[in-house]
């Protein structure tokens, strides 16, 4: 399983020959100011089979239509309301809710609870916000999406142990570093890929200090640069 990070909560998961793009946020992303995000997309994203959307906020869904035009066979997977929103715009979608695991060619996927909000920038209701639990023959992964620390995280490892968890660490709208450390206890997962930081002024973090806080608790915080990948 390969994970490539594109800042914020945007990353590509490559597993079982399928490419899953999570929460695409390029065109409106302050990181790409004065940088050519289209060049970046052409370079890193040669194939996208699925787009997974955690919730309807602009910084998670703003490039869905762009990618569904670029990759005509793409399937958007999200909650029922977000799926409906994009289905009406002629995009192929798969809607679910907090419920069971669903089998896809890349593995089993479950839409799980997150403590946040979810509305499109045009005011359309975006259903309940969520995260994804992905079980594959290459290991299991949890993508929390934007969320505060919550008790519900404790049920995630009951379904199977996690190789890595992708958690927001920027604070204000989501967990901060200290809370993500507690989340990693709840998840029984020592390896955390930190996301949702530094994109905006109000979610700036001290990267070295954050890594140190994790390592003091015997945990690993992985922070990737734009376009950097890890194999898990
Ligand atoms: Ni959000
Ligand atoms: Mn967000």
Question: What are the pLDDT digits (tens) for 137-151?
Answer: 999 999 999 999 999
Domains in the chain, number: 1
**Gap from CA of 194 to ligand 2 centroid (Å):** 13
39 with 176: CB under 8 angstroms? no
Ligand nearest to the CA of 195: 2
**Gap from CA of 83 to ligand 1 centroid (Å):** 17
**Gap from CA of 146 to ligand 2 centroid (Å):** 6
**Gap from CA of 60 to ligand 1 centroid (Å):** 7
Write the pLDDT tens digit of every residue in 64-116: 999 999 999 999 999 999 999 999 999 999 999 999 999 999 999 999 999 99
- Residues with CB under 5 Å of ion ligand 1 are 57, 146
pTM beyond cutoff 0.85: yes
Which pLDDT does position 34 carry in this prediction? 81
Q: What CATH number did the domain enclosing 166 receive? A: 3.60.15.10
Range of the domain at 80: 2-231
């Amino acid at each position: 399983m390969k994970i490539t990070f594109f800042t914020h909560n945007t990353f590509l998961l490559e597993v079982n020959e399928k490419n899953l793009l999570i929460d695409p946020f390029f065109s409106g992303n302050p990181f790409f100011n004065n940088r050519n995000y289209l060049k970046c997309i052409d370079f890193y994203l040669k194939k996208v089979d699925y787009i997974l959307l955690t919730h309807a906020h602009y910084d998670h869904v703003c490039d869905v239509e762009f990618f569904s035009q670029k990759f005509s066979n793409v399937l958007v997977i999200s909650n029922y309301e977000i799926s409906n929103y994009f289905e009406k715009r002629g995009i192929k979608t798969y809607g679910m809710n907090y419920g069971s695991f669903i089998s896809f060619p890349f593995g089993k996927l479950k839409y799980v609870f997150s403590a946040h909000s979810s509305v499109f920038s045009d005011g359309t209701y975006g259903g309940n916000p969520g995260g994804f639990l992905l079980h594959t023959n290459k290991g299991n992964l949890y993508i929390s999406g934007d969320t505060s620390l919550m008790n519900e995280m404790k049920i995630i490892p009951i379904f199977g142990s996690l190789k890595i968890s992708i958690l927001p660490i920027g604070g204000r709208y989501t967990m901060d570093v200290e809370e993500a450390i507690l989340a990693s206890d709840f998840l029984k997962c020592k390896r955390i890929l930190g996301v949702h930081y530094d994109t905006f002024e109000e979610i700036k973090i001290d990267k070295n200090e954050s890594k140190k806080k994790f390592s003091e608790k015997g945990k690993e915080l992985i922070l990737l640069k734009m376009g950097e990948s890890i194999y898990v």
